[in-house]
Every structure is written in C-alpha cells, then in structure tokens.
Structure 1
C-alpha cells in the first residue's frame, strides 16, 4: 500500500473526523496530526479533556504503526499528561521506536503551538501479518 492509499484509508476514521483531528503527514513508522481546540474539547474546568488529547495521540499511533501496510493493532498504551492546554492547536508526532515481525513500539509527543510538551504517549502493537484492506 502506497502512502496516498494509506492516507485515504485513515481518512475513513470517522471518530477522528468527528473529534476534529486532521492528519497532516505520514511516512513509514511516522505520522503527524493536529487538533484545533474548540469549546467542546474542554472539560468542566476549562482545559482540554484528556480524552481529546488521547484521541489525537491514538490516531497518529494507528497511522504510524500501520504505515508499513501490515495490519497492526494496539495491545498496550500509556499516556502521561505533562501540563494542560486551553487554546490554540495541538500537534501529535509519532515515531517508531522498535519493530519486528510481530511487535512494534511507538512514542508520540503531543505539543502545543509553542512546542511545549503537553503529553507523552507510548504504544505497542501486534503486527498480524495481514495486509491492510
């Protein structure tokens, strides 16, 4: 699967689209996406909801881990929130840390407009050995 087909495949992610996540870039083992913060992304205390940040990180995790054309499904993730965000745009950048025929690990950084670190997300996938549909 070439990069254009892969991008088209992930544009079908209805949840990411509903949340407002925009896929910006991808390459083998890497992906970038952004989320423009809107009022509905805020929790009761006025900061961006952790689930919105997690969803942004999860999309680039999925794109980077499936970027080789092999079905990869998350088996473990962890996120650490460093500071809160209120306004502007969040950027998620995924990078492949380790890959073998069955498992791969990714590190995702979520940054604000000033490139301050908002959260770190680490995820591991199981690589099924099947090609993406």
Structure 2
C-alpha cells in the first residue's frame, strides 16, 4: 500500500523523534509535521534564560533548527543542515511558550531552503530563521520516498 505524502512525513518524523534526545531534553514538543513543514514548541523555563533573564538565543535557534530538521526530513530522505542563519526580533520571556513554524521555500536536487518563524504565545514574532538543507545517503524507513 502506497503511503500518502502526509503519512510519509509523519512516519519520517516519528522515526526521527524517537532518537531526538536533544529536542526532548530541552523540553520541546513536535506539534505538527507535513510534507516540507513542521512546527515545534517549548515553554521558556528558568534553565533556558541567560544573564538578561530572557531566553538564551541558542535555545531559540535550537527550537527553530528542530522545526527545520523535521520539515526537511519529511520526504523519507536523510537531510542535514548545510547553512543556517537567524535574526532575533524580540526576546523570549520566562514562562512564555515559543512556537517555531517551518515551511519549505524551495527544493531542488539535494538542496532545500526553509524558513522558520518563531513566535510567542500572543503570536508576536521573536525570530526568523532560514535553513539550507542537503540530503545525504539513506532513508528513515524502508519503502516510501517522495
């Protein structure tokens, strides 16, 4: 039975999430995934804050990078980051919930471009992230590939 693109994305994400100790250890959740898309979120806790008592930029980057990872791996092809950049717009505050929403901009050959918006609970923009992916040899599971 042939899997739909949504089923391939979900199965790829489930396989990755089972091994993603870093995202889970930081308190992230994988909220949605689809072909070329993913959403992750996390509550900003005290251990995420820096010397300004706001969310450390590295954790915001990691949240965005995780959404990017699930989006670019949603085709049952192993994909890694080739280049990432982030622009911080506003602070993530203690007690807030940050959400990283990733969407695919382009995919050609082995390369892909993905944009991630990180927002706070009110939907205000906290950061914008751009990720460039590169597919490598291998699949998340045997069978379907898009």
Instruction: State the TM-score, normalizing by the size of structure 2.
Output: 0.86
- How far off is 1:129 after superposition? 5.0
* RMSD (CA atoms): 1.3
Query: In the alignment, is residue 102 of structure 1 matched against residue 116 of structure 2?
Result: no
Question: Does the 8 Å contact 2:29/2:40 carry over to 1?
Answer: yes
Count of residues paired in the alignment:
133
**What is the rounded CA distance, in whole Å, between the counterparts of 1:130 and 1:100 in structure 2?**
17
Give 1:2's aligned residue: 8
Q: Which is higher, the Rg of structure 1 or of structure 2?
A: 2
**What is the rounded CA distance, in whole Å, between the counterparts of 1:28 and 1:3 in structure 2?**
6
Instruction: State the TM-score, normalizing by the size of structure 1.
Output: 0.94
- How far off is 1:128 after superposition? 2.2
Question: Does the 8 Å contact 1:101/1:129 carry over to 2?
Answer: no
- How far off is 1:30 after superposition? 0.0
Segments of structure 2 that go 5 or more residues without pairing to the other structure are: 1-6, 142-146
